[in-house]
């Protein structure tokens, strides 16, 4: 299995620009998660989807952040306009509903730097 695929791996852009992060979950997984990792706050859940529907976006920091999942094999996380404090590593993860608890499988992340 290919695993969770994220792109790009690295992104450097100037403040105010739109940033789009992409994720392809593992085929057959019906849950998709977006996380952000920083030194100060650790790993935080931003939003998660079930069967392409957003279930909980309470972790999304501001209206500048938005996420979509147009189909079962693709999701995006957008930041518009970007700010230096958005610099972090953004992870996408997916899991399957097979019984109550299944491990989440993580991608390698996108390292985002906003100048």
Partner 1 sequence: KQEVTQIPAALSVPEGENLVLNCSFTDSAIYNLQWFRQDPGKGLTSLLLIQSSQREQTSGRLNASLDKSSGRSTLYIAASQPGDSATYLCAVSRAQKLVFGQGTRLTINP
Binding site for partner 1 (CB under 8 A): 4, 31, 33, 42-45, 48, 50, 55-56, 91, 93, 95, 100-109, 111
Q: Which is nearer to partner 1, 9 or 83 (CB)?
A: 9
**Shortest distance, CB of residue 84 to partner 1, whole angstroms?**
21
Strand order of the β-sheet with 65-71 is 5-7, 19-24, 74-79, 65-71
Q: Which is nearer to partner 1, 12 or 55 (CB)?
A: 55
**Shortest distance, CB of residue 83 to partner 1, whole angstroms?**
24
Place of tokens 């792109």: 7
- What pairs with residue 54 in β-bridges? 49
| Element counts in the chain: helices (H) and strands (E) | 0, 11
Q: Are 26 and 4 in contact (CB under 8 A)?
A: yes
Q: Which is nearer to partner 1, 93 or 114 (CB)?
A: 93
């Amino acid at each position: 299995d290919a695993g969770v695929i994220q792109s790009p791996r690295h992104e450097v852009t100037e403040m105010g620009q739109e940033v789009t992060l992409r994720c392809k979950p593992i085929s057959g997984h019906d849950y998709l998660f977006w996380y952000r990792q920083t030194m100060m706050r650790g790993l935080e859940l931003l939003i998660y989807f079930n069967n392409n529907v957003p279930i909980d976006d309470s972790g999304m920091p501001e209206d500048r952040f938005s996420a979509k999942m147009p189909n079962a094999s693709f999701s995006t996380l957008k930041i518009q306009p970007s700010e230096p404090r958005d610099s972090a590593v953004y992870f996408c993860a997916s899991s399957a509903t097979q019984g109550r608890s299944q491990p989440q499988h993580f991608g390698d992340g996108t390292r985002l730097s906003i100048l």
